[in-house]
Structure 1
Amino acid sequence: MRYKIPIEIIELEKDNYHLVVNSVFVNGEMGYWVIDTGASKSIFDKGLADFYSIIEGRTENLHSAGISEEPLKSEVATMKPFSFAGMKIENMQLAVLDLTHINELYSASTDMEICGLLGGDFLVSHKAVIDYKKKQLVLRK
C-alpha cells in the first residue's frame, strides 16, 4: 500500500532547505521529523522519553560529520506506535540522541520543534520517493 505524506519545505537560511513531515503519536501529540537522506540511521530526541522504550544493552556508534567529528555512542530504542498521514508505524527501532542543537537551529526560522530524523534505514525500508513538485513523501508498507 502507498501512502502520500505531505512535506513542508523549510528554508532555514537563504538556499538552505530542509524537508519536514508531520507525525501523530498515540496520545494525539504532533511531532515533526526531518527527512535526512544523508543519515544512515533514524534518530529520535532523547528528551521525548514518553514516546519510546530503550532496548537494554543495545548501543550504536553513529558517524556523522553533521552531528560531530567523533562517533557518538547512542542508545537504541523502539518507538511506541505513531503515524504519518494515516500510515501507522509500529516497532520502529532508532537511535536516541539529544536534538537540542537541531531545535535551536530551527527556532531561528520556525516554531517547529523537531522530534527526529528519518534516515536511510527508514527511507529504504519503505521505498521512499520524495516528490518536490507535489511536496510529498511517498512510502510503501
Structure 2
Amino acid sequence: MRTKISIDIIELESSNYHLILPSQFEGNKNAYWVIDTGASKSVFDKNLAGFILSEEGETEDLHAANMSEEPLKTSLGILNPLFFGKLKVDNMKVALLDMNHINELYQKVTDYKICGLLGSDFLLKYNAVIDYKRRMLKLSV
C-alpha cells in the first residue's frame, strides 16, 4: 500500500525550515508531526495522554542533539491507532517527552500544535520519500 500526504514547510527563522505532517487519530482528531530525519526515534508529547494507549514503566536513554549534553530519561509509550493519509498505524511505539517548549516556539509563527517528532524509526519502516518540490511525503508498506 502506498499513500501520499501533503506536508507543510514552515520557516521558523530565516532559512530554518521544518516539515509538518498531518495525521488523524481515530475519532477524527487531527494531530501534527514534525518530520525529523535526524532523530533516531519518534517522540510524542506526554501531555497528550488521551492519545496514548499504554505507557511502559521502563525508561530509556534518548540522545537528543541540542537539548542537553546528557541523554534524557524517557518513558516509552504505545499510541492509539492513527492515520497518515490512508495508512493506518497501530501500536506505534514512541518515546514520551514534554513538548511544551517546542509548541511555544511554533506558536510564534504558526497555529500548529505539534504532537510529536517522526524519527528515522518510522521513516524507515514506511519507506518514506520526501518530495520537497511537490510538498508531499510518500509512505509505503
TM-score, normalised to structure 2, is 0.96
Give the aligned partner of residue 119 of structure 2: 119
In terms of fraction of residues, the more strand-rich structure is 1
The residue identity in structure 1 corresponding to 2:22 is N
1:56 to partner: Cα distance:
3.0
Give the aligned partner of residue 88 of structure 2: 88
The residue identity in structure 2 corresponding to 1:95 is A
Give the aligned partner of residue 7 of structure 1: 7
Q: 1:129 aligned to 2:125?
A: no
Return the alpha-carbon distance in structure 2 between the equivalents of residues 136 and 62 of structure 1: 29
Q: Cα deviations across residues 31-66 of structure 1 (Å, max 9, x unaligned)?
A: 100000010000000000011133433221000123
Q: 1:39 aligned to 2:46?
A: no
1:24 to partner: Cα distance:
0.7
Give the aligned partner of residue 23 of structure 2: 23
1:86 to partner: Cα distance:
1.6
Give the aligned partner of residue 67 of structure 1: 67
Return the alpha-carbon distance in structure 2 between the equivalents of residues 83 and 67 of structure 1: 29
Return the alpha-carbon distance in structure 2 between the equivalents of residues 56 and 135 of structure 1: 35
How many positions carry a matched residue from both structures?
141
Moved more, 62-71 or 109-118: 62-71
1:110 to partner: Cα distance:
0.4
Return the alpha-carbon distance in structure 1 between the equivalents of residues 67 and 95 of structure 2: 13
For structure 1, list consecutive stretches of 5 or more residues without a partner in the other structure. none
Residue identity over aligned pairs, in percent, reads 56
Return the alpha-carbon distance in structure 2 between the equivalents of residues 73 and 54 of structure 1: 18
Return the alpha-carbon distance in structure 1 between the equivalents of residues 52 and 7 of structure 2: 24
Return the alpha-carbon distance in structure 2 between the equivalents of residues 127 and 71 of structure 1: 28
The residue identity in structure 2 corresponding to 1:67 is M
Return the alpha-carbon distance in structure 1 between the equivalents of residues 56 and 2 of structure 2: 34
On the 8 A contact 1:5/1:21 being kept in 2, the answer is yes
On the 8 A contact 1:23/1:31 being kept in 2, the answer is yes
TM-score, normalised to structure 1, is 0.96
Secondary structure at the residue paired with 2:7?
A: strand
